[in-house]
Structure 1
Amino acid sequence: MEYTQERVATLHDYGAAAPDAPVGRATVVVPMTEREYAGLAAEGVLSTLATLDPERVLVPLRASAERVPAFCEWLDGFDLPLEVLWCSGPRVADLLDAAGLDGATGKGRDVWLALGLAANSAHVVLHDADAESYDERDVPKLLAPLAGDFDFTKGYYARVESGRLYGRLFRLFYEPLVAALAERHDAAILDYLGAFRYALAGECAMTADVARSLRVQRRWGLEVGTLGEAHRAVGVDGVAQVDLGFYEHDHRSVSGPTGLGDMSAGVGDALLRAVEEAGVDPDYGTLPGRYVETAERFERGYAADAAFNGFEHDAAAEREQIETYRESVTPPGPDARLPAWDDAPLSPADVREAANADLDAIR
């Protein structure tokens, strides 16, 4: 337990934080794919949301046509003002293609489509559906600062489960990469990015104005890119981070097309793009080596922390991950982000119309 402040305002839960919050004026966006269908974690999330009375729950759904009817029937079983936005339908694809926005699909694209529709509420909450430890206070905690001095909030939590430290992509990639950059560059953006206690958390909330202003990564890197965009939109003083306690949710392998190694490429691209856009010019010739050196120092600290608590810890495997992540310390590639809704060449109404027509055609 501690009460330390960071460069961004840090709001702690000392055991029973249950702040008043404008839940009834918020749309809660919960992206889902086929793997969430009737899952215990998703069931728990939606059942809990039903006790909170939000203005609306919006589910951007990425699923095949044959799975969608059953998925919608399952979602209809919850006592919620719930809207499904099917992101994989042909009319939605044609709409994006006609607007020049065709491209890679993924969680980021799904969230971007949902933000356009959600921003007609005063506030927007975004979180995943795989949290096994979901708490009814999570949404109010994220929203409460928006009723005061802040425009964007980020959740943070301890990734500790079953006697092990998780959060490997944050601990072994994001955190030491930001630290390695900060050793050479005195820049406000690095102070800001380094202040987040769990920058890769999917839980955040924002005002409608911020939601309409975000340029969004299509796939991996959504969470980091959103932090960079929040900084651009409202500055460090408009952002707070909120203590959500402990979280238990899915763990990924390092290898494979959806593994942490693949994710690190998207996270690195989003992070280094945000840094460059803020005026930092990294030395990519030396940065990979400096990252590895810093990451190994961080790993030794985490190994000591694990031993201190009697946790299982595989130091060799973590050092192997660092070498895997090293390949992602490269200059950002072409900017494939989706535009802010304020500047988009289509409207949220167009998206809703296309998505509803797609749903009607298969139901």
Structure 2
Amino acid sequence: MPVSRHLLINVDVGSWGRKPIPPKIMALHNQRYSIDMREVLALVALLTAPPIALGFELDNSWACARYLPALDKGPFLRLRPEWTELDPHQKTVLSDDFGMGLTTLLLFEALDTIYFANTQYLVKTLNTPAFSLKPSQKSGQRKSPDFVAVDTTGRAHIIECKGTQTPSTLYKLLNNGIPQKQNMRVGPPYTLGQSIVAGVYIPQHGGGKPLCRIIDPEIKLAEGERNQGNGGNNLAVAVARANVASALHLLGLRREGNAVALNEPEVERSPVKRVEELPVVLGLGELQKEPFVVQSHTVFYPQDLLTDKGIAFDGIRIRTGLSRNIFEAVAVGDLEGAVRQSVARARMAGWRRAATETQLQLTTATGMFAEIELLTRS
């Protein structure tokens, strides 16, 4: 892998108690795992794009560009010596983003995830005691867990992510994540899968070895409402709605993104007209013969960086977007049709990934797209 880094993985087997541990999670235990950091950064861009935009969000692709130069030489994941000179707040943001990107990359694959979405958005959208949170705060132990991931069988997995650059802090953060995760209540007709807290220690230069630790403490089931139809289908539609909305925000179509997220069939201005006003930023990408509508950002660095094979690059091009078929439904104003297409795509296509020495492409099952291209001097 062109920008691969290794980290150690530890699964707290005892935290599962008598419950069976998913085989793919157990297979990670005590492993030295190699991860393409471009894929981590691409996933961070998709995960941090909100379903509902308020107008003061940062560019969601900025983390991809900012964090790539922070990596020290391999094989283990560490940060460059210069990173130690940065403001502590900037270090905290990297820890949070790496903790989210690394843990979800591992867990989404291990749990056979099709869908994922922000927990608070799903709770508000489904609006049922059967899938709810206790009174929550934005931070601290009463904070809601980060994500809900839905697997191929329709089970909902609760995931709380942590990250730190201080080894002694990792176990404290994981313990703090237990009550956060237990704020979630899941009951019939929804099926609870795993309820996981995962955290990553990312060493600074000269530090120890990076570690990802995964635990699965108990979560209480909700009594819930017993007669609400097929919860799995409701959940799939809600998550697809969140993903389509987030992808539209990545494209700069925030009004349409909010309309999709809030299930508002009408928008004030014609989507076709607004799409026509974005030709300078929109283009086409392709992954395994499927076209995507994408927005592109390019950043150049003050120094050359090297891939694992020694190829020098001094910039990065980041493209994010949405499956063209889904986008075209939005463009003509069929917002609900776009959500239906996303659900149908997820059932057939799954996640896709393609990588070369200088380019990585990733698409979610619901049609979100991210590409990272390393720009060489040649």
Q: Same fold (TM over 0.5)?
A: no
Give the structure, 1 or 2, with the largest relative contact order (CA under 8 Å, sep 6 or more).
1
**Which structure is higher in strand share?**
2
**Which structure is higher in helix share?**
1
